Each structure stands twice: as structure tokens, then as C-alpha cells.
Structure 1
Amino acid sequence: MQNFYPGKILLYGEFSIILKNKALAIPLTSQGGKWENARDAENTSLFGWLKYLKKLPHAADYDLVHFEEELNRGLYFESSIPQGYGAGSSGALVAAFYAHFSISPITNPSIIHLQELKKELGVLESYFHGNSSGTDPLVSYLKHSLLLANDKIDKIKVPSPPEDLFFFLLDCGMARKTEPLVSSFLNEIHNNKDYTADFENHYVPVVDQTIQEHLDGRFTELKKQWLELSQLQTLFFKAMIPKNLIEYWHKGNNEGHTHLKLCGAGGGGYLLGLSTLKEKQVSLFYPGFKMIALPFS
């Protein structure tokens, strides 16, 4: 059971994906996890998950007897993905479980099977999130980028950026919980008609265009889209931007070289960044914060 299951980054489409608009998710190959064994393993949380799995209507689809035996022998999930960072920590765990303990795992899903698999993985992950879409574990299981739109899923190749554009993750230094942030957004959508109209008419088209520019490899235009997207997020998602980074967020936009955007729900964890500066210069631009280059392999 040595297979590695990567994390996941929602490159574009945070919050708008909830309303079934376009989103682009990629595997985070620099972080991930795999099954390991140790006599003194701390796997209590996995026993809690096992109880949840046993109560599922389709529990017979998984070899839960074997899973429990392995847990008793010291099976645990060794992961480098930080929890509460928007990088798919529970998604990688679910992907690893499905791959090794599903009775008949789907190994080469068709377009139809992608939808079914996403739904099934979402049920498995809902123990950790309350209500999971299944996107995170699907990206981790397939180890492939996905374009999502209105319940449609496509495996897709995402072009790597040129040398003069640097994509990175910026560690806010604190974890966050997704559910309260999503609830706050949905409350605005359901109760504020002006916000909803502006979101659908102004924000969503920019997200769609940003995705298209990236997939088409038009990186000069993509840089301009990132600036617009970053500026719009300070209007639509102000409460989701960590207060300890808002000054840097505006500074990068004003100076024109570095742009930040949310990575998932925001509120903490990672932010996504794009810069025309070199990696070392970007690191110096955010003193006291950890920065990680975003791989596109």
C-alpha cells in the first residue's frame, strides 16, 4: 500500500463552483499521503470514520472487515498535507481508502463514471466536512487536473507557466474551517439580491475568462485576469481574506507584480499567488510567511 495520493488545489472557481459555475482543480504533487503501519500509530480518528462507513447504505461495497483488521495492526495515513489549508487533506485520505479497500474500484472512469465516482467519494468524505462535493478525493484518486462546470467533469491538461511567471502558495500561518465561510457566502447569495446579481454578472465571467486564458496558455492575458480577479475578491470575499495579509494583497496589486487570490474557502490556510518576480524576491515580499512553489507537473 505504498501508492502516493497527492493533495488538491482549486486553482480557480472558489465559491462560484458552489453555484455550479466553472472551476479548475489540479493535484498538489508536492504534498500528499500514503498508508503506513506502526505499532504505536495514532489512528483513533480512523476508527471514528470506520463507524461512519459501517452505517452507509453501500457499506458492503468496501472491505471494512479488512480495513478494521489493518487499523488494529497499526495502519495509519502518513500525510504531508496540512489540515484546514484548502489543500485536500481529507480528500487524499479518502482516495487512498477507496483505492485499497473498495471491493470493485473504478480504475479508468469514463465521463459517466466520473460523475458516479465523484458522488461516491463525496459521501465517503462527508464524515470530515459535513457535505462534500467529492472533488478533492477525485483529483487525488485520479492524480489529474479536472475542469468542472454545471455537473460536467473533464480530465484536462493544464499548461505550465513560462519562466517569467511564478505561481505559489502562501501560508497564512493558521488553519480555517470551510463550513462557516461557505455558509456566510450562501447567506449573502440567498438574502442579498444586489450581491447575487453582481456576483453572477461581474465576478463569474472573470473567473470563466481566467480559466480559459490559462487553459489556452495565454499567459500575458492571464496575468491581467489575475489582477482583476484579485481586486474583485477584495470586494466579494473581504471577510475571507486573512487580516494579516490584506496589506500585502493590496500592495502587490498596486505595484503590479504580484497578485493573490483565495485558495478554496479562504479565512486562513493557503492563499494562491502569481508573480512576475523571481521566487526569492517573492519570498522577501512576504517577510515572516512561508511560501511554496506551486508545481504544474
Structure 2
Amino acid sequence: MTNPLFYAKILLFGEYGIIEDSQGLTLPYSFYKGALKFSDLDSDFEKESNESLLKYANYLKDLELPEAYKISISKFQKDIRKGLFFDSNIPQGYGVGSSGALVAAIFERYSVKTYLPEHISKDELKDLKKIFGEMESFFHGKSSGIDPLICYMNLPILIENKENVNKVLIPASEAGKGAIFLIDSGMTGETGPMVQIFFEKMKTEGFRKTMKEEFIRYNNACIEAFLKKEMTPLFRNLKSLSVWAYEHFKPMIPESIYKVWKKGLDTNAYYLKLCGSGGGGYILGFTKDYEKAEKMLEGFHKEVIYRF
């Protein structure tokens, strides 16, 4: 029996915005991955994973899923008794989709009907997003279903709005001076509390207005420019997005990152943005000159995810 690997994901654009109907763009990230496996559960990690799968199976048992997307809970529970666990190196609380990969792996193995990502229609994508949202709500309280969908499809996905998602081609990565990279803030972030802060902010009219008129405009313009590989408008809008986040998403920016975030804006050497909900985990960086940015960000662990 093969163990399909499910990769982590990176939300390049759209954090928080997708809650308010902005566009989003996500990519699979193969550096981190997870797969369902069997073992004698000798290690604490395997034992804990197996126990949490059992809790999760109980949650899924009570979910009313449509016929076409039903999951064989009895088969899942039987495998849990046999020593099933999720073997993953995807860090939790880093905004790269640890629970998304788990949901995708479970659906792939236990869904009664088989779906092949390359043959999935736009309507099925919409349905799967909804199903995955319900399945992932166990971990986050409320989920859009986007993370598991990306992990499941293992393809770049353009989030067009709250309802619609589509497969998309992104320009090939090439060996240039520019880069998109991840910075490790050195601390984990919890999605729940961060999302709560966002919803509190959304109660004020001023914030709602700037979210709609500025954040969403910059965010969507970044996506359009990136997909067309137009670097000048991309970096112009990235700077606006980074300034906006620095002013309005302060609580979501890890303390270790404050100063270097501002430094990027002051020097235009690089621009930073949240990767996922923030509060910790990874931060995304964009630069036209990675060598220069790397020197300025000395002391931080960095991973390049795309070159141009």
C-alpha cells in the first residue's frame, strides 16, 4: 500500500482578506510533508498522534457529509486500532498547514469515492473546499477549507472569492537575483486567538473600510502582477501591503520581527508580510536582491521558496 505524501502549503497572498472575500493565492511547499503510517506506537510522538486521530474519528463520526463525499469511519477507526498515526515534519503553528495536510491525507485514504486531483472540476473543487472546511473545523474552530484543499490537490490554487477556487499556473521559478522566502520568527503562533483579534478589529467601521478599500485592493493587485510576472507593479503593491500590515496588523506581527519589518520598508531592500494568521511561525519576504536582503536579515533562519 503506497503512502501518499501530503505537502505543506504557503498562502502567498490573502491572509485574513479571504475571510472578507479578497482573492488568495496558495502554493504547495514540498519541504514539509506528512503521511499516514502504521507502527507499534513505541515513541511518544506516534502514541500522541494515534490518540488524537481517535478523538478526530469521533468528531468525524458526527459530521453529516453529503453522499458523494462520505468517509468510511469504521475503516478509519479500525486502522487507528492497528496503530495508525500521522508521520509529519510540518511544524504546527507556523502557518504552513499542518492540520490541512492531515485532513487531506484522511480524506484521500478513507473517502468512499475516489477523486483524482487532475480531473476534479471547478464545481467539485467548490464542494471539496466546503467539506474540508467542516473537517478542519475540529482543529481551528472555523475553517475555510482552503488549507486541506491545497494539500489535497498539490497544485497552486487561486482563491477567486469566498465561494470559488480554481487551479492556476504560476510562472516557473528561475535562477535570478530576486526571491520569495520564509523567515522563521522563532516562535509558534496560534490561529484561533489571532483570528479572534481580527474579528474584534472588524467590529470597527474604520478598520472595515480600510480593509476593503486598501488591503483587498493591494492584495488582489499583487496576485494579478505575480501571475503575469510583472515585477514593478508587484513590488509597488507589496510595499503598500507591507506598510498597511505594519500599521493595522501589529498584534499579528511577532515581536522578533517588528524591527526588521520596518527596516525593509525604510530601505526598500525587501518587504515582509504575514504567512497565514501570524502571531508567530513564518513570515514571508519578497526581494529583488536576495543576497542583500539575506545580509540585512542575519540571525534569522530563512528558506527560499521561489526565485525570479
Q: TM-score range by the shorter chain?
A: over 0.9
Q: What corresponds to 1:182 in structure 2? A: 195
Are residue 110 (structure 1) and residue 96 (structure 2) matched? no
TM-score scaled to structure 1, two decimals?
A: 0.94
Question: Runs ≥4 in structure 1, deviation > 6 angstroms?
Answer: none
The answer (yes or no) to whether the contact 2:173–2:306 under 8 Å persists in 1 is no
Q: What corresponds to 1:172 in structure 2? A: 185
2:101 to 84, 92, 100: 92
Q: What corresponds to 1:139 in structure 2? A: 150
Q: What corresponds to 1:16 in structure 2? A: 17
The answer (yes or no) to whether the contact 1:9–1:86 under 8 Å persists in 2 is yes
Pairing 1:1-297 to 2, within 5 Å after superposition: 1-40=2-41, 41-42=46-47, 43-58=50-65, 61-107=70-116, 108-150=119-161, 151-162=163-174, 163-190=176-203, 192-278=204-290, 281-295=292-306
Greater CA drift, 287-296 or 167-176: 287-296
Q: 1-side partners of 2:20 and 2:79: how far apart? A: 40
The answer (yes or no) to whether the contact 1:91–1:136 under 8 Å persists in 2 is yes
How far off its partner does 1:171 sit?
Answer: 0.8
2:54 maps to a residue whose letter is F
1:11-38 deviations in whole A, cap 9, x for unaligned?
Answer: 1011111011111111112211112221
1:205 maps to a residue whose letter is R
Q: 2-side partners of 1:238 and 1:125: how far apart? A: 27
Q: 1-side partners of 2:290 and 2:229: how far apart? A: 20
Greater CA drift, 52-61 or 29-38: 52-61
> % of aligned pairs identical?
34
How far off its partner does 1:106 sit?
Answer: 2.7
Q: 2-side partners of 1:196 and 1:27: how far apart? A: 30
1:245 maps to a residue whose letter is I
The answer (yes or no) to whether the contact 1:12–1:23 under 8 Å persists in 2 is yes
Flag structure 1 segments of 5+ consecutive residues without an equivalent: none
The answer (yes or no) to whether the contact 2:24–2:223 under 8 Å persists in 1 is yes
Q: 2-side partners of 1:283 and 1:21: how far apart? A: 31
**How many residue pairs are counted as aligned between the two chains?**
294
The answer (yes or no) to whether the contact 2:269–2:293 under 8 Å persists in 1 is no
Q: 1-side partners of 2:29 and 2:202: how far apart? A: 30
Flag structure 2 segments of 5+ consecutive residues without an equivalent: none
User: Which secondary structure state, in structure 1, belongs to the residue aligned with residue 166 of structure 2?
Assistant: strand
How far off its partner does 1:132 sit?
Answer: 1.0
TM-score scaled to structure 2, two decimals?
A: 0.90
The answer (yes or no) to whether the contact 1:85–1:176 under 8 Å persists in 2 is yes
1:156-202 deviations in whole A, cap 9, x for unaligned?
Answer: 01113551211111111111111221121122212x11221122112
Q: CA RMSD in A?
A: 1.7
The answer (yes or no) to whether the contact 1:11–1:24 under 8 Å persists in 2 is yes
User: Which secondary structure state, in structure 1, belongs to the residue aligned with residue 299 of structure 2?
Assistant: coil
Cα–Cα, structure 1 residues 245 and 99, in superposed 2: closer, same or farther, change >3 Å?
same
User: Which secondary structure state, in structure 2, belongs to the residue aligned with residue 126 of structure 1?
Assistant: helix
Q: 2-side partners of 1:144 and 1:16: how far apart? A: 21
